[in-house]
């Protein structure tokens, strides 16, 4: 699963299951979480919402808003859920922002890193949490985050 922290796809699916017209909202959440709509995540979401993948692709290719490809080689997601927020997520974002030279929601010009803030990804016990692609960093400290992220990055 691309960049999925445990359970957090299930969280999105649960939020929107059995609600009318919820597919777009669920996909919105998915993109919010991953920076784009990864194919395997879309597949899993489809299974949980009982929506064929063909319908999902019809929707995500119809609206320009949805991205099908990762905006950067490494997706850094900083959880902004209450627990992470209180335990220093804003400082972590500030630190990464400063080092990478981009704001949250932006991609570095060399397309190596995409930095984003995401809604609660459902592992509050590990707060504050940062994910780099599929890797989950727990109890992150602002002072160490840059080194940790570089260590996780692929071929950067």
Partner 1 sequence: MTVKAIINGIPVEVAEGTSILDAAKKVSVKIPALCKHPDLDHTAACGICIVRIKATGRTLRACCTPLENGMEITTHDPEIVNVRRGIVEMIMSKHPNECVTCARNQNCELQTMCADFNIHTTDLDNIVPDLPVDATTKSIVLDPRKCISCGRCIQVCQKDQNVWALTFMERGIETRIAPAGDISMAESPCVKCGQCSAHCPTGAIVEYDEGPDVWAKLADPELHCVVQIAPAVRVAIGEAFGFKPGTNLTGKIYAALRRMGFKAVFDTNFGADLTILEEGSEFVERFAHGKGELPLITSCCPAWVDFMEKYHSDMIPHFSSCKSPHEMVGALSKTYYAEKIKTEAKKIYMVSVMPCTAKKYEIQRSDDMKSSGYQDVDVSITTRELARMIKQAGIDMQSIPEEQPDHLLGAYSGAGTIFGATGGVMEAAIRTALKLVTGQTPGRVDFEVTRGLKGVKEGVLEVAGKQVKIAVAHGLGNVEYVINKVREAKQKGEAPPWHFIEVMACPGGCVGGGGQPYGVTDELRLARAKGLYQEDQAGMWRCSHDNPYIQKLYDEYLGKPLSEKSHHLLHTHYNPRPQYQR
Which of 10, 24, 39, 90 is in the footprint of partner 1 by CB under 8 A?
A: 39
For residue 27, state whether it binds partner 1 (rule: CB under 8 A).
Answer: no
Q: How many CA atoms are closer than 13 Å to the CA of 100, on its beta-carbon side?
A: 31
The enclosing H or E element of 16 equals helix 8-16
Helix (H) or strand (E) holding 89: helix 89-100
The residue range among 5-13, 56-64, 82-90, 122-130 that interacts with partner 1, by the rule CB under 8 A, is 56-64
Cis peptide bond upstream of 128, omega within 30: yes
- Minimum Å gap between C-beta 110 and partner 1 is 25
- Does position 65 interact with partner 1 (CB under 8 A)? The reply is no
Residues that bind partner 1 (CB under 8 A): 39, 43, 52-58, 61-62, 68
């Amino acid at each position: 699963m691309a960049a999925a922290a445990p359970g957090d796809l299930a969280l999105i699916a649960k939020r929107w299951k059995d609600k009318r017209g919820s597919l777009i909202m669920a996909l919105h959440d998915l993109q919010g979480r991953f920076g784009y709509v990864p194919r395997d995540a879309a597949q899993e979401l489809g299974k949980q919402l009982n929506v064929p993948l063909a319908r999902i692709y019809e929707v995500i290719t119809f609206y320009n808003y949805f991205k099908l490809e990762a905006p950067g080689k490494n997706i850094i997601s900083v959880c902004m859920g209450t627990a992470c927020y209180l335990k220093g997520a804003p400082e972590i974002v500030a630190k990464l922002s400063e080092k990478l030279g981009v704001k949250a929601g932006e991609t570095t010009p060399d397309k190596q890193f995409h930095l984003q803030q995401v809604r609660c990804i459902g592992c509050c016990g590990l707060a504050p949490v940062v994910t780099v692609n599929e890797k989950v960093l727990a109890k992150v400290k602002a002072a160490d985050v840059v080194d940790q992220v570089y260590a996780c990055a692929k071929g950067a």
